[in-house]
Structure 1
Amino acid sequence: MTTMQLKKLTDSMDELDKSLLKLLAERNHLAIDIIQTKIAANLPVRDTEHEHQLLNMLLCEGKKYHLDELYITRLYQIIIEDGVLTQQKMLQKHLNANTQKTAKFAFLGPRGSYSHLATRRYADMHFDQLIECGCRSFAEIFQQAEDGLVDYSIVPVENSSSGSINEVYDLLQKTNLHIIGELALPIDHCILAAGDTDLSHIDTVYSHPQPFQQCTQFLAKYTHWKIIYCDSTSSAMEMVANINQPNVAAMGNKAGGELYGLKVLAHNFADQKENITRFIVLARKPIDVSRQIPAKTTILMKTGQQSGALVDALLILRKHNIAMTKLESRPIHGNPWEEMFYVDLQGNLSSVDMQAALKELSAITLFLKVLGCYPSVSLLPMI
């Protein structure tokens, strides 16, 4: 095949890709028209029965073109979730009468950190303009919102590989802020250096502790590397860029590395292939969540120390048919051997079942606080 023939083929494929983008944009416009109708008719955003019918139809159509069923399923899972999230955003703006176009966010690290990427992604979905405020610690992020210096704070709470971020949960125990949103960010850790070099020539790697915890199997291949902790991945990348030596590298993300002129030496090496970090968005005031969209309610509670106290609390949730998506315990500062429980629940705070469950929980727990009710981005799969 000649170079000219190859270029002709790739040009044709590029044109098809542009057509696909145009069709996806048209689909989004239809999603907007649909949500306007659903708002007027007070119908739920998600119609799982229709989603199943659509997927079955698409799988049948795909067989005609010899397309893999898993490929079709994964592709339309992403497309349908995007449509649902677009409709959720519109419903929330309608319910909370949100006309705010510019928002100021506090996040961990300078520009280029994973928290910075999460902040930009969340802000792009909800606001026209973003004012960025990088912080050196989680405590500072909380304080910025509590003092009214920013509109929102965004912090990571858990990673699919390394688990919960305890410092954030401890701060949630003391804050008056409310959880008003969440975001799931796929993580692709990279080894980044100031120039072209080989991994074998690296002897020092800078990063935040979390990426190191999530990549232990990869790091075991390079036992000679000196690991140095930084307060954020972006701080690590900035430091490596300033050092500008071929033996020094940072562990961070590709987009952040580009901001600091770093090159990717290796990527996609986390212990778990599906490496996702969940972030929460905090504000001084709670929000109302439409009953037409999937919602989460996060509570903080302290049970007695008698046998079965936690089980009794969980049985109340089962009694009211409320699903629990996360249960986290953390020590209570100043009270040795006592714990506070963080519970993520599927359901809207305003629902009859949730209100009844919280009333019963209040009667049997020593302390109960609602940390927030917010739109859920963890949509259940179609199959």
Structure 2
Amino acid sequence: MQAISPSPSTALKSLFSDHYKPLSRSSKPFHPNNWTPTGFIVQCVYRPDSGSEGSGSGSGSTRRSDWQSSCSILASKVVSQQRNTETTGNTEITAVNGHKTLDLVPISNLPKPLTIADLSPAPMHGSQLRVAYQGVPGAYSEAAAGKAYPNCEAIPCDQFEVAFQAVELWIADRAVLPIENSLGGSIHRNYDLLLRHRLHIVGEVQLPVHHCLLALPGVRKEYLTRVISHPQALAQCELTLTKLGLNVAREAVDDTAGAAEYVAANNLRDTAAIASARAADLYGMEILADGIQDDSSNVTRFVMLAREPIIPRTDRPFKTSIVFAHDKGTSVLFKVLSAFAFRNISLTKIESRPHRNRPIRLVDDENDGTAKHFEYLFYVDFEASMADVRAQNALSEVQEFTSFLRVLGSFPMDMTPWCPSRSDSL
């Protein structure tokens, strides 16, 4: 074998320079960011022992021979590995000693780090909100949910309480439920559920209601023997049904659109439903009579419920809803209401409901026997924000006369104008 001096020979240098870049004096230490896929950087350094040359034992020449052999073997393995890669197209990185490295994970398969957008709550208004409502598609509550949160994902629920629970269990982000109607009055069931659940009122929306008399295609009004709908809808159309000359039985069901769905699903040709025009389109019904509500100014007010309250403001009209009870019956009701009157705060709603836990209160009298009275809860809406000092002082005074006080929500008032027309009420 030809002797090789401590500096690399011309043949060895040309062998390395064909495929690899030699290290320069300015080369930096290895770092993953400095790795170049063009090839390996190989450097062989030979440093003879200072005492081996003069020992006469030949150890210096032996070490040089070992170094020459190592460089030749190393060069042949590197060149062979480079040729195999070019031939097979395999980009797997293999160490020079023959041991394979771990396979690299594709970058596209790695999970992306969280951003602040992933942690922020859902917007108040947007297409990503899931809104629960009571009824089936085509119900007025679905239309109210769309008005309150445009482009939202509406989630139908078969009962009011299911809509409350859907928000509490994070299945839905909001719930839109009716609370009162201009003709039928308050929805007492939802007043009771507001107290039973820990949701907060974050807004309100008023929806004009436009009722239609629906039946299967080809059915005439003279053939009808029954009309089904929600109890509120039946009450809102009572006079009109009589004027139409319909001698039919009225039967209450859970919701208006559900009535149309029931007639269509069971092919009931003697039964009509009171529902919206959209319900007629969804379930293949015909409109026998349009706008059959007794009053054209028929409006239902819906409340928007969420898990967390919103921050009250004073730069726009706000409304606050509270519920309270007191141990002394209705004798202190005047004092409670005067707390708002003295501060010029207008009340927009007052509703009394029997206390479910204590429906009857026994009052001792000087005469023989006892007097029986109902214990009441009072729901009050007033036009003021909780950020208003007047409202804070009024509630502080109310708390002195009550045994129970809870703020159900402080929320913006619905100030959008409306007119009793079909286009506004679907």
Instruction: Tell me, yes or no, whether TM beats 0.5.
Output: yes
Higher helix share: 1
- In structure 2, C-alpha distance between the alignment counterparts of 1:242 and 1:306, rounded to whole Å: 50
- Contact 2:385–2:410 under 8 Å retained in 1: yes
Structure 1 residues 356 and 155, CA gap change in structure 2 (3 angstroms): same
Q: Match of 1:142, as an amino acid?
A: F
Partner of 2:211: 189
Q: Which of the two has higher C-alpha Rg?
A: 2
2:144 paired residue among 98, 110, 118: 118
Please state how far the C-alpha of 1:306 moved relative to its aligned partner: 4.9
CA deviation string 1:181-220 (max 9, x = no partner): 1010001111011214332221122211110111121233
- In structure 1, C-alpha distance between the alignment counterparts of 2:269 and 2:417, rounded to whole Å: 46
Give the SS at the match of 2:378: strand
- In structure 2, C-alpha distance between the alignment counterparts of 1:380 and 1:179, rounded to whole Å: 21
Q: Does 1:208 align with 2:230?
A: yes
- Contact 2:212–2:277 under 8 Å retained in 1: yes
Partner of 1:321: 344
CA deviation string 1:245-265 (max 9, x = no partner): 442211101112111121211
Q: Match of 1:214, as an amino acid?
A: Q
1:262 paired residue among 285, 288, 303: 285
- In structure 2, C-alpha distance between the alignment counterparts of 1:108 and 1:244, rounded to whole Å: 24
1:166 paired residue among 181, 185, 188: 188
Partner of 2:389: 352
1:365 paired residue among 394, 397, 402: 402
Structure 1 residues 258 and 148, CA gap change in structure 2 (3 angstroms): same
Please state how far the C-alpha of 1:379 moved relative to its aligned partner: 6.9
Give the SS at the match of 2:375: strand
Give the SS at the match of 1:173: helix
Please state how far the C-alpha of 1:103 moved relative to its aligned partner: 0.5
Give the SS at the match of 2:175: strand
Please state how far the C-alpha of 1:232 moved relative to its aligned partner: 1.2
Partner of 1:104: 130
- In structure 2, C-alpha distance between the alignment counterparts of 1:268 and 1:285, rounded to whole Å: 38
Q: What is the aligned residue count?
A: 282
Q: Does 1:284 align with 2:310?
A: no
Structure 1 residues 346 and 243, CA gap change in structure 2 (3 angstroms): same
- Contact 2:320–2:386 under 8 Å retained in 1: yes
Please state how far the C-alpha of 1:141 moved relative to its aligned partner: 1.1
TM-score of the two chains, using structure 1 as the length reference: 0.70
Q: Match of 2:375, as an amino acid?
A: E
- In structure 1, C-alpha distance between the alignment counterparts of 2:409 and 2:294, rounded to whole Å: 32
Structure 1 residues 123 and 180, CA gap change in structure 2 (3 angstroms): same
Q: How does 1:88-99 map to 2 (within 5 A)?
A: none
2:168 paired residue among 136, 146, 149: 146
Structure 1 residues 198 and 149, CA gap change in structure 2 (3 angstroms): same
Please state how far the C-alpha of 1:228 moved relative to its aligned partner: 2.6
Q: Does 1:331 align with 2:368?
A: no
Partner of 1:299: 322
- Contact 2:329–2:375 under 8 Å retained in 1: no
Please state how far the C-alpha of 1:244 moved relative to its aligned partner: 3.1
Q: Does 1:176 align with 2:160?
A: no
- Computed over aligned residues only, the root mean square deviation of the Cα atoms, in angstroms, reads 2.1
Q: Match of 2:411, as an amino acid?
A: Y
Give the SS at the match of 2:407: strand
Please state how far the C-alpha of 1:242 moved relative to its aligned partner: 1.8
Runs of 5+ consecutive residues of structure 2 not aligned to the other structure: 1-121, 360-373, 419-426
Report which stretch shifted further, 236-245 or 359-368: 236-245
- In structure 2, C-alpha distance between the alignment counterparts of 1:345 and 1:104, rounded to whole Å: 29
Report which stretch shifted further, 269-278 or 163-172: 269-278
Q: Does 1:250 align with 2:287?
A: no
Please state how far the C-alpha of 1:241 moved relative to its aligned partner: 1.5
Give the SS at the match of 1:296: strand
Give the SS at the match of 1:154: strand
Structure 1 residues 324 and 151, CA gap change in structure 2 (3 angstroms): same
Q: Match of 1:177, as an amino acid?
A: L
Q: Match of 1:320, as an amino acid?
A: R
- In structure 2, C-alpha distance between the alignment counterparts of 1:380 and 1:256, rounded to whole Å: 25
Partner of 1:226: 249
- In structure 1, C-alpha distance between the alignment counterparts of 2:329 and 2:198, rounded to whole Å: 29
- In structure 2, C-alpha distance between the alignment counterparts of 1:209 and 1:147, rounded to whole Å: 29
- In structure 2, C-alpha distance between the alignment counterparts of 1:271 and 1:99, rounded to whole Å: 34
CA deviation string 1:16-43 (max 9, x = no partner): xxxxxxxxxxxxxxxxxxxxxxxxxxxx
Runs of 5+ consecutive residues of structure 1 not aligned to the other structure: 1-95
TM-score of the two chains, using structure 2 as the length reference: 0.63
Partner of 1:308: 331
- In structure 2, C-alpha distance between the alignment counterparts of 1:254 and 1:361, rounded to whole Å: 46
CA deviation string 1:166-185 (max 9, x = no partner): 11111112111000010100
CA deviation string 1:324-364 (max 9, x = no partner): 00000011112111110000010111111111111111111
Structure 1 residues 98 and 215, CA gap change in structure 2 (3 angstroms): closer
State percent identity of aligned pairs. Answer: 35
- In structure 1, C-alpha distance between the alignment counterparts of 2:248 and 2:125, rounded to whole Å: 51
Please state how far the C-alpha of 1:98 moved relative to its aligned partner: 5.2
- In structure 2, C-alpha distance between the alignment counterparts of 1:319 and 1:338, rounded to whole Å: 26
- In structure 2, C-alpha distance between the alignment counterparts of 1:234 and 1:303, rounded to whole Å: 40
- Contact 2:123–2:129 under 8 Å retained in 1: no
